[in-house]
Structure 1
Amino acid sequence: MTSQPLRDGPSERSRAHPGDVSRRVAQRREQLGLSREEVAARAGMTSSYVRYVEEQCHHTIGTNALLRLAGALRTTASHLLGGDAEHVPGEEAVGPPVMEEMRPEECWNRLSGQDVGRIALTTGGGHPAVVPVNYAVVDGTIIYRTAADAPPSLAKGNEVAFEVDQLDACLSAGWSVLVLGAAERVVDPEDSRVLEAHPGPWSGGEDDLWIRIVPSRISGSLIRSV
């Protein structure tokens, strides 16, 4: 199906609220003539989540989910966030964003509420790389599963950085958490049985290498407009 150009006229754009991700996702889907099920299949998510975004999610959305929806809808994350919307006349101007440091317990709460993060590591050739993984928080550590020859496996035995964030560029709001620590292979059979209840990699397959990141430092920043 050929992507159709956006046809928002001046009256539509003047009514747009920068944070109204729901309206823009639903509008773009309808422009392409797609069902929620079709968008969900393209984005690799459930149709119930697409429905949630269109009907209830009016403020922020995870960066990863936003990018997947944008790709499925043949548009950009910036458009879905309202980055091309005009300022609504009469709206109160938003001041410059401020950054606040989060306490460790708040950082852990944020980490526990997400399931996709990024690991900064060094490849076999000595080059830096950042790779995404889906993860879980278990007993104050970060755990994930991968294949023995996949890039995330290179973390084991090394000090790594692990980051999770949720940002809304249009609203100048969001947060970011950074974990520094040693990555180790999980070798205890009892530990492995416990970890089986947690999510595996998106790629599926026989990915039976479990890696645990034991934090030595955790820090986080909260960004909000004033």
Structure 2
Amino acid sequence: MTGRAGGRGDVGRRAALRREQLGLSREEVAARAGMAPAYVRYVEEQAGTPDTASLLRLAAALETSADRLLGGGADLPEGLGRAARHPRLLELGPQECRELLGTHGVGRVAVSADGGAPAVFPVNYTVAEETIAFRTASGGSLDRAAGGEVAFQADHIDEALSQGWSVLVTGPLKRVTDPAAARRLSDRAHTTPWAGGGRDQWMGVETRRVTGRRIRVP
């Protein structure tokens, strides 16, 4: 093993995330890769990079590439791979859309900004019953869009298999003005906004309509 000392390594973080995306246990990944489960755990939890042969076997077990585990293309848009030969585009029902959104994640809010021009903002969101909630800066573009209809979109792309899903929620955007409600959202939030700064104003997109699509490869 080579790499920096102390802390969890980037390869380990990417490997653990990919394993979770596939719904696999460490034991299942180890069996696929012909490794000991303890070694898979070591890769995920320690700071370092496996040797080339081990990295290739681990990538194959995780249905991805060694380059992806090493962070290649990390600063580029998703979906750089080719389309599958016989993809199927499926419409999703409301319940499946809500399950895919989960309890939290990163999505995008589309609003009509100042002057009526469309604008899209990435946000860390929390699902609270029928509301998509997120924090923003008071007086910012999303705060000023309160009272209007907006769209919220989240998706996931599986680069290795050229498939994925997308969910779209539309409804009115409202400020959360009740201090108790804001505290409840803060308590259940998975994380603070990745962008940092003074983003303390909770906003909520009321789910009036939810649709989704999935690309599936037979």
Q: TM-score, normalised by structure 1?
A: 0.63
| Contact persistence 2:108–2:120 (CA under 8 A) | yes
Q: Which of the residues 195, 198, 212 maps onto 1:206? A: 198
Q: Which of the residues 185, 201, 213 maps onto 1:195? A: 185
Q: What are the within-5 Å matches in structure 2 for residues 177-188 of structure 1?
A: 177-188=167-178
Residue 202 of structure 1 and its aligned partner are, at CA, apart by 1.1
Q: Equivalent residue of 2:115, what SS?
A: coil
Q: Which residue of 2 aligns with 1:155?
A: 145
Change (3 A) 1:120 1:55: closer
| Contact persistence 2:109–2:153 (CA under 8 A) | yes
State the identity %. 38
Q: Which amino acid aligns with 1:221?
A: R
- Superposition RMSD on alpha carbons, in Å? 3.2
Q: TM-score, normalised by structure 2?
A: 0.65
Does 2:16 align with 1:52? yes
**Deviations 1:38-81, CA, capped at 9 Å, x for gaps:** 974xxxxxx86334147776248xxxxx8xx4465x77756xx7
Q: Equivalent residue of 2:96, what SS?
A: helix
| Contact persistence 2:88–2:215 (CA under 8 A) | yes
Q: Which residue of 1 aligns with 2:55?
A: none
| Contact persistence 2:104–2:127 (CA under 8 A) | no
| Unpaired runs of at least 5, structure 1 | 1-29, 41-46, 61-65, 85-93
Q: What are the within-5 Å matches in structure 2 for residues 138-177 of structure 1?
A: 138-169=128-159, 171-177=161-167
Q: Which amino acid aligns with 2:140?
A: A
Change (3 A) 1:222 1:206: same
Q: Which amino acid aligns with 2:14?
A: V
Does 2:89 align with 1:99? yes
Q: Structure 2 CA distance, aligned partners of 1:104 and 1:183? A: 20
